[in-house]
């Protein structure tokens, strides 16, 4: 009676004639050689309707110790997939991080620049008018603050609360920081020399080379307020008799 044998390598079911039972056969599917009638053999299915028992391949047991085919995953393929997934993540991080910070600063740059210039100019005039180094009644040589340079960390993922700045005034260098939320600022201003005319500094009046003033303040629309060394700043206008 023919039997059905299962190739132990590719699991292909083969019908084996009686005279081949117990002999080595070559699987036509994968070329594997195995013994017919050994593990994996079963009686051939009887023709339907003749009282035979139909062979159920799902009930054929695998030989003891036999394992299924191994699945191998390339690390190169995994790294490629990870790289593909990382690209949109990096793009989104840049768009919602440094790009957004730059746009936010572009919107407030003009206001911040005007505020620093107005506050520091006002504080410098107030201090120099009080010390007698500048007379507001004599126009043409007003203390001034030149271009402000901001140090904006554009690679930051969010807008910092404080932005550093520096620049040059008619009295020397200054540096400080600007609050991006409140508009408050603070700075240290050098008083090494007071320039009353472009390129012509007046004597230091025995002022130390490292003399500084600490300025705090804010610019609110058309109103500017400041403090110099913790005291409210105001410009002193000397009486006419003191101008001689």
Are 21 and 123 found together in one domain? no
Task: Report the C-alpha gap between 174 and 192 in whole angstroms.
Answer: 11
Q: Is 158 exposed, middle or buried (0-12, 13-18, 19+ CB in 10 A)?
A: exposed
Res 102: pLDDT: 87
Are 133 and 42 found together in one domain? no
Q: How many domains does one find in the chain?
A: 2
Are 53 and 93 found together in one domain? no
Q: 6 versus 229: which is more confidently predicted?
A: 229
Write the pLDDT tens digit of every residue in 195-228.
444 445 555 444 555 689 999 999 877 788 999 9
Are 32 and 117 found together in one domain? no
- The answer to the question of residue 137 being in a domain is yes
- The answer to the question of residue 79 being in a domain is no
- The answer to the question of residue 37 being in a domain is yes
Write the pLDDT tens digit of every residue in 160-209.
999 999 999 999 999 999 999 999 999 999 987 554 444 455 554 445 55
> Confidence band (pLDDT; 50, 70, 90) for 124?
very high
- The answer to the question of residue 236 being in a domain is yes
| % of the chain beyond a pLDDT of 90 | 34
β-partners of residue 41 are 5
- The answer to the question of residue 73 being in a domain is no
Are 127 and 205 found together in one domain? yes
Are 179 and 113 found together in one domain? yes
Write the pLDDT tens digit of every residue in 21-31.
778 888 888 88
Are 157 and 207 found together in one domain? yes
Q: How much is the mean pLDDT over the chain?
A: 77
- The answer to the question of residue 72 being in a domain is no
Write the pLDDT tens digit of every residue in 55-84.
555 555 555 555 655 656 677 767 777 777
Are 44 and 137 found together in one domain? no
Are 156 and 197 found together in one domain? yes
Are 109 and 26 found together in one domain? no
- The answer to the question of residue 135 being in a domain is yes
- The answer to the question of residue 70 being in a domain is no
Are 206 and 93 found together in one domain? yes
Task: Report the C-alpha gap between 94 and 96 in whole angstroms.
Answer: 6
Q: Which residue has the tokens 């013994």?
A: 35
Contact present, 127 and 74 (Cβ < 8 Å):
no
pTM (2 d.p.): 0.56
* Strand pairing class (145-151; 3-6): unpaired
Are 229 and 117 found together in one domain? yes
Query: What DSSP string runs through the chain?
Result: --EEEE-TTT--EEEE-GGGTTSEEE-TTT--EEETTSTTEEEPPPPTTTTPPPP-GGGPPPPTT--PPP----HHHHHHHHHHHHHHHHHHHHIIIIIHHHHHHHHHHHHHHHHHHHHHHHHHHHHHHHHTS--TTSTT----EEEEEEE--TT-SS--SEEEEEEEETTEEEEEEEETTT-EEEEEEE-S-EEEETTEEEP-TT--TT-EEEEEEEEETTEEEEEETTEE-------GGGG-
Write the pLDDT tens digit of every residue in 33-60.
888 765 444 454 444 444 445 555 555 5
Which domain does 227 fall in, by range? 89-243
């Amino acid at each position: 009676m023919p039997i059905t044998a299962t190739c132990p390598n590719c699991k292909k079911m083969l019908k084996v004639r009686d005279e081949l039972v117990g002999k080595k056969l070559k699987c036509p599917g994968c070329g594997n050689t195995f013994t017919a009638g050994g593990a994996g053999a079963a009686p051939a299915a009887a023709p339907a309707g003749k009282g035979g028992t139909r062979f159920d391949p799902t009930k054929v047991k695998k030989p003891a110790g036999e394992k299924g085919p191994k699945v191998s995953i390339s690390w190169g393929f995994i790294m490629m997939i990870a790289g593909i997934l990382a690209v949109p993540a990096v793009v989104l991080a840049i768009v919602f991080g440094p790009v957004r910070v730059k746009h936010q600063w572009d919107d407030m740059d003009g206001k911040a620049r005007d505020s620093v210039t107005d506050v520091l100019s006002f504080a410098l005039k107030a201090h120099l008018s009080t010390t007698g180094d500048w007379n507001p009644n004599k126009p043409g040589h007003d203390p001034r603050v030149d271009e402000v340079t901001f140090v904006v960390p554009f690679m930051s993922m969010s807008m910092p609360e404080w932005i550093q700045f520096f620049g040059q005034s008619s009295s020397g260098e200054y540096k400080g920081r600007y609050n991006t939320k409140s508009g408050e600022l603070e700075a240290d201003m050098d008083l090494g020399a007071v320039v009353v005319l472009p390129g012509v500094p007046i004597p230091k009046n025995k002022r130390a080379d490292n003399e500084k003033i600490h300025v705090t303040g804010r610019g609110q629309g058309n109103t500017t307020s400041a403090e110099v060394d913790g005291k409210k700043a105001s410009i002193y206008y000397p009486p006419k008799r003191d101008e001689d």
